[in-house]
Structures are given as structure tokens and as C-alpha cells.
């Protein structure tokens, strides 16, 4: 920490070496400026999670206060992962969970009940019936937890609407592949954009509403497929470290990350614009792409204000003591675009506000789904004929908030290698 921490001049005073590791680490941090440095009890679990491999049942949800006159809490499923226990029991986006293991969720107990989801558990839930125009109870579902490798690419498709060909990608986090040496996910993204290019799309919508970040290399890969005609001569981002690192290591001074030269680059889009769907949980590497694309094209945001994370991390473990399983993920860098812009600690504000929490959730990819239909309306200039009842409810959290990978911008290993050689 006294070599790599971004806020080195404001590093906290160490406390007793006999303190709990979490307390010792916390004492070093420059709070509240540093909102993101964290410590984990298991380094390998940290690495697995960053690659999308976690012990879970395969469904995510947002928590809401129910009727304001009661203390009830409900959970609305946001998406179910392919080939997961959740997909095997017919859970769907928009289903509403009311009980976990037979206990009604309330303001006072929901955090405790969420802790039971790592084991075999039973949920009671309801589904909206279009004919009755009401939620109806579904049979209880019992789910197990498995070591699940989630593919971050949730959906890709094309639409032709009013003679406009639209490509749509739902991308949930940035990871090259399910293991450290795999590029399977990046390769799949390349194939998707090769198809978009072959179909000669006019517009592109990228859905980052649940994307809390991940690896910079995958962010560069995706950006290199979108920015019009970029090559390795064009700068995607710049990275700055603390003064000690930049003074001691010439390779960490004036670090510039170029785009990749990709044959699958889709070329100029209509109005040189890309549409990105956002939420308050759009963070880190997602924001890096937004910032990195802005000098090259019009980045039109639809949704909610993003998290506001312009800093990056590197995972470290204790390589000298095999008995110490802890891993730390400290903030070590700040990111800028090619124009040296980095002022988004308050998040990026959307060009058009659209809060999916204000409506009943429709399937991702449904052209009547709020954020997607808002983007399509912007493209076609025609308002959607779909009308839905506005819901008055308060978002109090999400399963995504507890993901290790949420809010992460994982730098490459150049800094780690430099410090270790030193």
C-alpha cells in the first residue's frame, strides 16, 4: 500500500499488527475520497468472481419497499442466468419474490434472509398474469447453489424498425473468459460484432444497466469494435498512478492505452452515435468505455446517473505466506480519455432519463421494455404506443451490489510486475 496506493500522500496510519485484517486495511484508506478499495478473506474467490465464477443459484434481483404502510420488502428478479439452477425452475425476469425459506421479507430481516441464498433455499414468488392483469402466486421453488461460470454476454440481436437496422447487446460485466488464460468471452464479442457488421446495422444499443465493471482489456476490446474506424494509433485511455510510481518506473509514466485494430469494427453508425443504457449500477469499466468513446463519437445515454468510478484496482495476495488467504483490491490508478478528461466522480448523467424501477419489468430484448423502447424511440423519432402503469416504489438494494466484481476496474499487471521486480 505504501508503494501502489493512489492517494499515497493521504495513506492512513497503520494500527496494531494484531488487529483484524479488515480493520488494519481500513485504517490505511483515504476515506471518504476512496470509496472503492476493499479486502477479501479469500484471494482465489476474489479472482474467480472477477472472472464471473461464483457460488450461486443463478438469478439476480432488486429489492423494494412494498406498501409504504407496511415493513414488507419484495424482490423483483432482473435476470436469470443460462444453465443455472434458476433457469431450471422457470424463474423469469419480472417475477416477484415475497418469502425466502417460508419467511416473509421485511425491512428488519431481509439482510439476514439474503444470507441464506448461498445454500439450498426455497422462495415463494408471484408472476404477473396478462389476462387477469394481476400477480398470481406460483408454486414455491427450491434452488441449490453451484459454482457457476456466468457468461457476461446475456443477449445480442438485431431489429429492423421503420427501415432502421438496430443492433442490441446486453453485456453484464467485463471479463475475457471464465479463467485467467481464457479469451472465450472476448472472442464471442468479436463474433457478435462481425455479425452486426455483416448485417450492416445503422444503429447500436449497448445495455450496461447491470454492468458494474471488470477487466480493462475487455473494455478496450469492446470499445475497439464500436469507435468508428479506430486503429492502434488511436488512444482509448490514459492512466495515471501516484507520484512515487511515476517517478520510480518510467513505464508507469505517461501510460496510454491504444485501441485494438479489429477487423470486426462496425464502422460509422448513423449520426456517428452509439446508445448506451445505464443505471445507478453502471460503473467502472462501463464508465471507462463511455468516457473513452466520447472523443470519437456521440455517446447518447439513456437510463439513470451512473456510479461515478474513474479509478482502477489491481488484486494482490500475500505471495510469501501460503497460510494467508486474504486478497486486497486497492485503488492504484485514475483513468482519463484521450482528451485528458476524467471528471465523472459524480457519474455520467443520462441524455434521457428512464428508470426501469418505475414500471413492471418486461423481458430484456422485448421492444416494449422501458429502456430499450426509449432508445428505439430516439432512433426512429416515433414514440412507443406501449403504455404501462407507473409504479411508486423505492429501490433499497440489489444482489448485484454484493458482487465482488461490482464497481471494479481491473488494470493490467504492469504495475504489479514493476513493483515486484523493484
Taking residues 309-332, what's their average pLDDT? 93
pLDDT of residue 421: 56
Buried b (16+ CB within 10 A) or exposed e, 147-181: ebbbbbbbebeebeeeeeebbbbbbbbbbbbbeee
Residue 64 banded pLDDT, cuts 50, 70, 90:
very high
Given the DSSP bridges, would you call strands 331-336 and 235-240 parallel, antiparallel or unpaired? antiparallel
Q: Given a cut of 60, is residue 415 above it in pLDDT?
A: no
What are φ and ψ of residue 19, in 5° steps?
Answer: -70, 165
Least confidently predicted of 222-231, 357-366, 402-411: 402-411
Taking residues 78-92, what's their average pLDDT? 95
CA distance 235 to 89: 46
Buried b (16+ CB within 10 A) or exposed e, 186-201: beebbebbbbbbeeeb
Q: What is the pLDDT of residues 224-261, one digit of tens each?
A: 999 999 999 999 999 999 999 999 998 899 899 999 99
Q: Given a cut of 90, is residue 200 above it in pLDDT?
A: yes
Q: Which grid cell is 136?
A: 398470481
Residue 45 banded pLDDT, cuts 50, 70, 90:
confident
CA distance 40 to 121: 25
What are the Cα distances from residue 359, in Å, to 101, 214, 298, 354, 355?
27, 29, 28, 10, 8
Q: What share of the chain in percent tops pLDDT 90? A: 80
Q: Which grid cell is 204?
A: 447500436
Q: What is the pLDDT of residues 293-313, one digit of tens each?
A: 999 999 999 999 999 999 999
Contacts of 98 (CB under 8 A, 6+ apart): 72, 74, 104, 105, 124, 125, 126
pLDDT of residue 410: 64
DSSP result, 295-361? TTSEEEEEES------EEE--EE-SS-TT---EEE-EEEEEE-TT-----TT-PPPSEE--GGGSPP
Q: Which grid cell is 203?
A: 444503429
CA distance 11 to 31: 10
Domains of the chain: residue spans and CATH = 55-148 (2.30.42.10), 151-386+402-421 (3.90.226.10)
- How many Å separate Cα 277 from the centre of its chain? 12
Q: Please state whether the predicted TM-score (pTM) of the whole model is above 0.85.
A: yes
Q: Is 382 exposed, middle or buried (0-12, 13-18, 19+ CB in 10 A)?
A: exposed
Amino acid at each position: 500500500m505504501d508503494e501502489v496506493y493512489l492517494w499515497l500522500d493521504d495513506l492512513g496510519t497503520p494500527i496494531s499488527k494484531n488487529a483484524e485484517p479488515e480493520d488494519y486495511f481500513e485504517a490505511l484508506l483515504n476515506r471518504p475520497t476512496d470509496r472503492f478499495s476493499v479486502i477479501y478473506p479469500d484471494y482465489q474467490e476474489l479472482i474467480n468472481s472477477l472472472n464471473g465464477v461464483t457460488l450461486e443459484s443463478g438469478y439476480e434481483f432488486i429489492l423494494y419497499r412494498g406498501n409504504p404502510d407496511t415493513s414488507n420488502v419484495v424482490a423483483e428478479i432482473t435476470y436469470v442466468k443460462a444453465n443455472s439452477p434458476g433457469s431450471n425452475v422457470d424463474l423469469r425476469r419480472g417475477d416477484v419474490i415475497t418469502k425466502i425459506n417460508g419467511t416473509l421479507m421485511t425491512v428488519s430481516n431481509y439482510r439476514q434472509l439474503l444470507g441464506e441464498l448461498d445454500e439450498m433455499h426455497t422462495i415463494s414468488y408471484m408472476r404477473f398474469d396478462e389476462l387477469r392483469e394481476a400477480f398470481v402466486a406460483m408454486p414455491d421453488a427450491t434452488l441449490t447453489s453451484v459454482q457457476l461460470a456466468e457468461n457476461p454476454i446475456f443477449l445480442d440481436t438485431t431489429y429492423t424498425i421503420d427501415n432502421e437496422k438496430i443492433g442490441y447487446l446486453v453485456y453484464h460485466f467485463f471479463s475475457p473468459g471464465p479463467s485467467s488464460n481464457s479469451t472465450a468471452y472476448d472472442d464471442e464479442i468479436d463474433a457478435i460484432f462481425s455479425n452486426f457488421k455483416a448485417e450492416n446495422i445503422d444503429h447500436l444499443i449497448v445495455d450496461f444497466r447491470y454492468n458494474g465493471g471488470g477487466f480493462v482489456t475487455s473494455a478496450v476490446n469492446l470499445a475497439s469494435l464500436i469507435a468508428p474506424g479506430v486503429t492502434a494509433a488511436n488512444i482509448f485511455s490514459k492512466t495515471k498512478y501516484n507520484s512515487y510510481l511515476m517517478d520510480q518506473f518510467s513505464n508507469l509514466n505517461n501510460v496510454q492505452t491504444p485501441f485494438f485494430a479489429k477487423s470486426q469494427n462496425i464502422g460509422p453508425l448513423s449520426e456517428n452515435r452509439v446508445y448506451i443504457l445505464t443505471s445507478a449500477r453502471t460503473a467502472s469499466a462501463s464508465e471507462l468505455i463511455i468516457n473513452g468513446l466520447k472523443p470519437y463519437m456521440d455517446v447518447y445515454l439513456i437510463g439513470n446517473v451512473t456510479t461515478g468510478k474513474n479509478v482502477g484496482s489491481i488484486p494482490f495476495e500475500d505471495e510469501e505466506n501460503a497460510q494467508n488467504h486474504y486478497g486486497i483490491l486497492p485503488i492504484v490508478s485514475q483513468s482519463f480519455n484521450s482528451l485528458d478528461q476524467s471528471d465523472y466522480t459524480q457519474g455520467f448523467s443520462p441524455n434521457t432519463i428512464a428508470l426501469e424501477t418505475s414500471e413492471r419489468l418486461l423481458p430484456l430484448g422485448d421492444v416494449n421494455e422501458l429502456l430499450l423502447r426509449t432508445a428505439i424511440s430516439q432512433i426512429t423519432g416515433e414514440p412507443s404506443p406501449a403504455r404501462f402503469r407507473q409504479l411508486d416504489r423505492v429501490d433499497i438494494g440489489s444482489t448485484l451490489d454484493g458482487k465482488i466484481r461490482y464497481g471494479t476496474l481491473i488494470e493490467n499487471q504492469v504495475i504489479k510486475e514493476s513493483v515486484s521486480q523493484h
